[in-house]
């Protein structure tokens, strides 16, 4: 039987790839990786070989192609229920947070793209970004207050993975996560798979056009 294959974008930029990748690593879901550098002349054609949606990530399990980060996470959760909290109400809240992150926060995503190598770059938020930032702080703070930490719902779950790129973005652009969430961010960043992802991102050589890397 062939091992499932996860097709991802390069680690420095691909926030959507990080989410299911981290869930799969934490769940012990065995898979191989195919990495496609983003924003290159051949990127679209290369992704099209694997993804009917023309986007990464996509999980290939035999003849089955699962695209979209949340769809991949739900597929993994069917075999690894610990991907979501065990308690019904917590599970519903975790899915609600994950769905909001999946569908929203466009202003933050556009103004603060994930760029792990470019640490300490300050870009002042406009009003749309401020609204997104306050909403993110509120969601993180409420989840941690309810659970008591160290992760958003006590133990690591998919909601932590869905918000993991927020940690990368806020660190790069010097945005405060808010009271109570900084310890969560540090705990998340200390997870072995997250450390591996960050280390690999910093070692990548390809860059998007006009990227500036600096402290």
Per-residue model confidence as pLDDT tens digits over 154-169: 999 999 999 999 999 9
pLDDT confidence bin for 1, thresholds 50/70/90: low
Whether 213 is in a domain gets the answer no
Please check whether residues 189 and 89 belong to one and the same domain.
yes
CATH of the domain at 174: 1.20.1050.10
The mean per-residue pLDDT over the stretch 136-165 comes to: 98
The mean per-residue pLDDT over the stretch 61-67 comes to: 95
Q: Is the pLDDT of residue 213 over 70?
A: no
Q: Is the pLDDT of residue 101 over 70?
A: yes
Q: Which domain holds residue 75?
A: 5-81
Angle between helix axes 15-27 and 69-79 (nearest 10 degrees) is 0
* β-bridge pairing 5-9 and 32-36: parallel
Q: Give pTM, 2 decimals.
A: 0.94
**Predicted local distance difference test score (pLDDT) of residue 188:** 98
Total of domains in the chain: 2
Please check whether residues 100 and 161 belong to one and the same domain.
yes
Q: Is the pLDDT of residue 108 over 60?
A: yes
Domain boundary among 57, 81, 105: 81
Place of tokens 């089955």: 64
Domain boundary among 54, 81, 108: 81
CATH of the domain at 40: 3.40.30.10
Please check whether residues 11 and 61 belong to one and the same domain.
yes
The mean per-residue pLDDT over the stretch 23-46 comes to: 92
Q: How far apart are CA 145 and CA 129, in angstroms?
A: 24
Q: Is the pLDDT of residue 210 over 60?
A: no
pLDDT: which is higher, 109 or 207: 109
Name the average pLDDT for the chain.
Answer: 93
Please check whether residues 131 and 96 belong to one and the same domain.
yes
The mean per-residue pLDDT over the stretch 80-101 comes to: 98
Contacts of residue 134, Cβ cutoff 8 Å, sequence gap at least 6 = none
Q: Is the pLDDT of residue 208 over 70?
A: no
Please check whether residues 88 and 194 belong to one and the same domain.
yes
Q: Is the pLDDT of residue 48 over 60?
A: yes
Q: Positive or negative, the Cα torsion across 168, 171, 173, 178?
A: positive
């Amino acid at each position: 039987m062939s091992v499932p294959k996860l097709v991802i974008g390069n680690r420095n930029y691909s926030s959507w790839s990080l989410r299911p990748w981290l869930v799969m690593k934490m769940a012990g879901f065995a898979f191989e990786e195919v990495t496609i550098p983003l924003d290159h002349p051949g990127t679209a054609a290369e992704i099209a070989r694997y993804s009917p949606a023309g986007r990464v990530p996509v999980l290939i399990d035999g003849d089955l192609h699962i695209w979209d980060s949340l769809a991949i996470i739900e597929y993994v959760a069917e075999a690894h229920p610990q991907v979501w909290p065990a308690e019904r109400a917590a599970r519903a809240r975790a899915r609600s947070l994950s769905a909001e992150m999946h569908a929203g926060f466009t202003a933050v995503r556009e103004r603060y793209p994930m760029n792990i190598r470019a640490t300490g770059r300050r870009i002042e938020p406009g009003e749309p970004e401020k609204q997104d930032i306050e909403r993110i702080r509120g969601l993180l703070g409420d989840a941690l207050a309810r659970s008591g930490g160290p992760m958003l719902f006590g133990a690591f779950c998919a909601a932590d993975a869905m918000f993991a790129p927020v940690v990368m973005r806020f660190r790069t652009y010097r945005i405060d996560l808010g009271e109570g969430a900084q310890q969560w961010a540090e705990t998340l960043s200390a997870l072995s798979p997250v450390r591996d992802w960050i280390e690999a991102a910093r070692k990548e050589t390809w860059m998007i056009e006009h990227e500036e890397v600096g402290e």
